[in-house]
Structure 1
């Protein structure tokens, strides 16, 4: 199990995983297209993510939508960690074919090759997402555990952002476990659900062990500060560093489970190395919800830069209200424990950002795109 292919291995999670695996003695191959949105225009000379793995891995510049690139990359591999994907809920709602082509069809090509061509692959690890849970799991006094449908403009236009469930009074948020209902509220979530299900269904028929990790909101040093479409901490940081104000959507009380990159890498390596992970699906997070106001205030405090923070009531269709992970399964089966609190991780992240060149703030452009599509209100 020494040879590991990481698709999307020049990305944020992939590059960190590659470096940790190399330190443990693994031989790593990376297949990555060096997306301009993530790496900038001259990635091979200027992308910190790419440069961190350059000359340390066998690098194949290519796409998961290319059968030939997959064939080249799979050769001689024992394990495949499949990260390459279009990410971001908002953008997925109007670049639908692109998300389906890369995320679903790219995974289909992989599985088709594994099913029909000789290989030595013994395990496939797929990056799934908390987005497949949609609005997540709640407790109703009247009905017990329920899974609310996607929120609608009818309520949100009037400043009512909480989830609803017919026949129930106010709902109590609970942690989402792996047996929770899968009902994504974005095209991105649908593609991650599809990826996960294809891998978990096909691989066992081929004698290959599948493992799926449903990552929560991953952050930390090294994440792209160029991408205005995904990564709330990096988006807010670029705004602050440019002296621009922060526009917080909804009422600022929406929460996410922010999990530090080192914890994500450690969880993934447990999935690679432990047989107990085989044929299983795991949440990866901290098990703690953090609201967006706390994120914005923490960043401003750590940078020591005063910028206006406005809670606008704007919202994006496809966004969820809350979600945080139930970690019972990964703790019991893989002995995983997150090591970083949000405060500790935020300190490391902002310390790193302070060493980086300030990037152009293109967030307003990304919002204008969504507004033109009727997805930003």
Structure 2
């Protein structure tokens, strides 16, 4: 299976995946709409991610919501790696139709074509997300029971209480890694769309005898990540603020944590899904299995850049954000032999070294995104 279509293949994960697959002898086709939010203005000339794959892949500028673009892109393909999606958790709470149209509608269109036309596709690998879990898994220390807290209430967080709780349990819950059997209860429209996307792929592909693999990526970061997209990961946002000499506003109490996984590890895991039959018809977490809190992220970045900017733990928060989630990697380790190679301390330095070589500017886009959320009642 040497012909691989990567939707969203000019993006951060997609372009890195394409380059590594090319080295392994695969023939790559990329379908990407070159979204301005990701690639900036005039991306054909100005996007470094696009330039990295230019003249190395068959590139189709198109959208996953277009049947004609799908029909062209799917010709003679053995594998589809479906990465194309709208990805801003906060933005998804008010750009609802857009997120549903692209993430759910685009995936439904692909599956409709695969179910009803002649094609050569033998496997579909879909990018799912840790966002489908909502809050992570917790242990009740006194009973050994696993629980899955619901979304935190606005009234609670306005009082400065950001911890999770579960009805009827009055003791402090212990955070534990989230495995693939954990409860799926997303707290954002983005998370809902990724849940539906994953479930459609796993269900429909099985019914039409196409192997399917879903990867629930944690917070992916690394060189090449967009530094101008205000809806991208916090490492890029914080880096852009630091390099611009601006103070950082840390939401909640700074203790909220995520599992930050380096781009090279994400690419390696995805390739295992393409190449290994053991991955077929399974879902896997992809992360490091280590939670890192936001305050640690900020201090690490300031140290890496040797900057003197300040930061403030403000107590501000966004509705729909979760408190904690980090991956249990037992399944992907035992089934596919995957182990992350890059730990946070190493990866953050490599990321910062790359940022130091870039022309960094968020402009007013970050403040505008905050104002947008305030106006929609999502930011407090």
Class of the TM-score when normalised by the shorter of the 2 chains: over 0.9
**1:327-366 deviation digits (Å, cap 9, x = unpaired):** 0000000000100010100011000001111223321110
The residue correspondences of 1:41-52 to structure 2 (distance < 5 A) are 41-52=41-52
Q: Distance in 2 between matches of 1:70 and 1:237?
A: 36
1:179 to 178, 181, 198: 181
> Which sits farther off after the overlay, 192-201 or 140-149?
140-149
Q: 1:83-115, CA deviations, whole angstroms, 9 ceiling, x for partnerless residues?
A: 000001100000000000000000000000000
Selected match of 2:366 from 324, 338, 363? 363
Structure 1 residue 141 corresponds to structure 2 residue 141: yes
Q: Distance in 2 between matches of 1:295 and 1:97?
A: 33
CA RMSD between the two structures = 0.7
Matching of residue 154 in structure 1 with residue 158 in structure 2: no
Name the CA distance, whole Å, in 2 between partners of 1:31 and 1:84: 8
Q: Distance in 1 between matches of 2:232 and 2:50?
A: 19
Whole-Å separation in 2 of the counterparts to 1:204 and 1:197: 11
Equivalent residue, structure 1, for 2:73: 73
Instruction: Give distance in 2, aligned partners of 1:304 and 1:251.
Output: 24
Deviation at 1:18, TM superposition (A): 0.2
Secondary structure of the corresponding residue to residue 65 of structure 2: coil
Give a deviation string over 1:243-280, Cα, whole Å, max 9, x none. Answer: 11100000000000000000000000000000000000
Q: Which residue of 1 aligns with 2:4?
A: 4
Residue 24 of structure 2: aligned partner: 24
Structure 1 SS opposite 2:30 = strand
Q: Which residue of 1 aligns with 2:311?
A: 309
* TM-score, with length taken from structure 2: 0.98
1:170-194 CA distance string (max 9 Å, x none): 1100100000000000000000000
Q: Distance in 2 between matches of 1:235 and 1:203?
A: 37
Query: 2:356 maps to what in 1?
Result: 354
Count of aligned pairs between the two proteins: 377
- 1:253 equivalent in structure 2: 255
Provide the residue aligned with 2:53 in structure 1.
53
> What is the match of residue 132 of structure 1?
132
Q: Secondary structure at the match of 1:247?
A: strand
Q: C-alpha separation between the residues in 2 aligned to 1:357 and 1:142? A: 52
2:177 pairs with 1:167: no
In structure 2, distance between residues paired with 1:295 and 1:217: 13
Unaligned runs of 5+ residues in structure 1 are none
- Runs of 4+ aligned residues of structure 1 deviating over 4 Å after TM superposition are none
Is 2:103 aligned against 1:106?
Answer: no
